[in-house]
């Protein structure tokens, strides 16, 4: 298992994240919005996104959840575990839910329901990557960076067995 072909360059990611941030900032109100990032995968995307949002005039509160859906390197367990919940009160807030990639959609669907159950007024979802061909749940992120084919990718926060998160670009995992 190793890093294969480059799929999305560092430059293309930067342009895309800034474009997404401009769209999101024009829609959301900074005083009622909380960004919630799903760790570990969203860490790089979220940190670029929050700085981009602030350049576009939106500086929301930020919190995190630890959610796991993958038991081994690349196989879905089909179950979403919330290992750590948000600590900020979400009642009557708009939540900008940030994840690295939407695959089966189970994580996004489960966490969105969970956040509504905690009293959020609205949940806006965004993901850098979307793999619609693998979808099991009827959900799509409100804001998507890139739609990709059914390939397993690493880098820019995305891992395979916790490796390769640090790569500044997105590459295909070589089996």
Least distance to ligand IMP from the beta carbon of 17, Å? 17
103 part of the active site: yes
Positions 38 through 97 that interact with Mg ion (CB under 5 A): 41
- Residue 161 in tokens: 């067995």
Report in angstroms the alpha-carbon separations of 37 from 2, 18, 44, 73, 88: 27, 17, 10, 21, 13
**Residue of 99, 100, 103, 130 marked active site:** 103
Q: Which of 48, 159 has the CB closer to ligand IMP?
A: 159
Least distance to ligand IMP from the beta carbon of 145, Å? 14
Catalytic (active-site) positions: 103
Q: Which positions touch ligand IMP (CB under 6 A)?
A: 41, 69-70, 76, 99-108, 152-154, 158-159
């Amino acid at each position: 298992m190793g890093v294969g072909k480059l799929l999305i360059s560092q430059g293309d990611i930067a342009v895309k994240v800034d474009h997404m941030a401009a769209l999101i900032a024009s829609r959301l109100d900074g005083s009622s919005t909380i960004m919630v990032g799903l760790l570990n995968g969203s860490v790089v995307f979220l940190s670029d996104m929050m700085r981009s949002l602030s350049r576009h005039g939106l500086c929301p509160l930020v919190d995190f959840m630890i959610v796991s859906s993958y038991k081994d390197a690349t196989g879905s367990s089909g179950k979403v575990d919330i290992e750590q919940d948000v600590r900020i009160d979400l009642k009557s807030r708009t939540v900008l839910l940030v994840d690295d990639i939407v695959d089966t959609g189970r994580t996004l669907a489960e966490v969105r329901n969970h956040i509504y159950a905690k009293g959020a007024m609205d949940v806006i979802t965004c993901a850098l990557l979307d793999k619609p061909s693998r979808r099991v749940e009827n959900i799509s992120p409100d804001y998507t960076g890139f739609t990709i084919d059914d390939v397993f990718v690493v880098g820019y926060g995305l891992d395979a067995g916790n490796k390769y998160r640090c790569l500044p670009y997105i590459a295909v995992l070589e089996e």
